[in-house]
Structures are given as structure tokens and as C-alpha cells.
Structure 1
């Protein structure tokens, strides 16, 4: 049976997994995760003090079950209306250090497939990030 977590925890699992995808969790990625938890309305009922324990839970699941286990938890724990939010948060974390590695792209593909996201919506989310993080 797949573990079920709160929707907020599932979104944190997505962000932590995205940060860990290239096996290097950068300071900018970790700061981005904290920033998103502090500022987004979807986290308004989430106690910020739980961010570290939830991140550790995700890391343990990654270590013991792998990415597939995390994605299964995310799918069963998130309401469908937050699927695109999860993808957008993954994109934000990937873009935080202004470079997206191949392993991160692979995670995004796996997330998109697990959540059965529409390719047009995915393209719009990705385009929005490219525009926001564009350099001069």
C-alpha cells in the first residue's frame, strides 16, 4: 500500500525530489523551496517548522524506494487540481540555480507522465519559467 501524505507534504516531496534529482541540492534550490512554502497560498495552513522533517521523510523515501515511490505518493496524495501546481513548483526549483541538468529534465518527464499532465499545459508552465528566469 502506498503511503499517503497531506497535499502540502506531497508538494514538498516534489520540490525536494526535484532538488535531489541531479544528486546536488544547491543552496539556491533549498532557498527556493523555503520561499515557496512561506509565500504560496497552497501552503497557508502548513506549519513552516515541519518543512525540515517532511524533507527528511522525502529523502528517506528516495533512498529506500527511489523516485518511483515518491511519485506514487505524490499521485495518491495530491488532488488533481494541484497536479499542475506540483509541476510548476518542480520547474521553479529546477530553475532556481539558473541551470537545468539532464537528471532534472528526466525527473520532470517522469512527473509529467505520472500525473498525466497535458503537454500544452506543461509547455505553458515551462515557457513561463523561461521568461521569468531569462538573463539580459
Structure 2
């Protein structure tokens, strides 16, 4: 098993319900959620003209590969109602792989640690709440 940290975000529909459904779907896909940060309401990042977000970080155990976790995360997004749209635009649910154990991954469709951890205060605060200091990992 690999210890993983996933960032969840939503700013459309019933935001609290979207987060809860995403956690449930992640469990169904094999993520054993160990802990979760508190839910934070945050201003939009990247595109300001949209509703505020609810964000949360979950810590979990994952028995598969990073690529399999990415597929599971994208499936959770689709099942939650996310459709392709504007980068950093409004979304029903967003699931980002923040950390995958100690691995560093750089490919066309996957970068871990998440490349914008250090730019998003709510991510750093949520990780710190869970006792994680990503340090210079990004």
C-alpha cells in the first residue's frame, strides 16, 4: 500500500454533498481513506469570476499504481458529473493527486507531487492539518 494525498474541490451544485460523494466513490475504487482535513471555503483560483469552492484533502492507502489512481480519480470526477470545460473554471468535483508516497512522476498527463501545491495556501494548510510537510517536494 502507498500513502496518498488527494485534493478535492467543488464549486457547483450541492458542494458538501459533492465532497461526500467523491469520498464514497474513492472508497469504492479502492482508496482506503484514513483521515481527512476539515472542509475549507476558498476563493476561486485562476479564474475569479465563478462561485467559491469547498476544498478538502484526504489521506489514503492505495494498493495500485499511480496511473491506476489517476484513472480512478478521473472516473470519480466523471461519475460526479464533471464535464470537460475551461481550465480552472467551475466544476462539480475535482480530484487531484497531490502526493503519491515519495514518488516523483513527470509525464504528459501526470505530475506528482502536484505542481501547484506551493501556490495554493489551502492545500498547504490542509496537509499541515494532517501532519504533512511537503517541504521542497514540489
Q: TM-score range by the shorter chain?
A: 0.3 to 0.5
Q: TM-score, normalised by structure 2?
A: 0.36
Q: Choose between structure 1 and 2 for higher RCO, CA contacts under 8 A separated by at least 6 residues.
A: 1
In proportion to residue count, which structure has more helix? 1
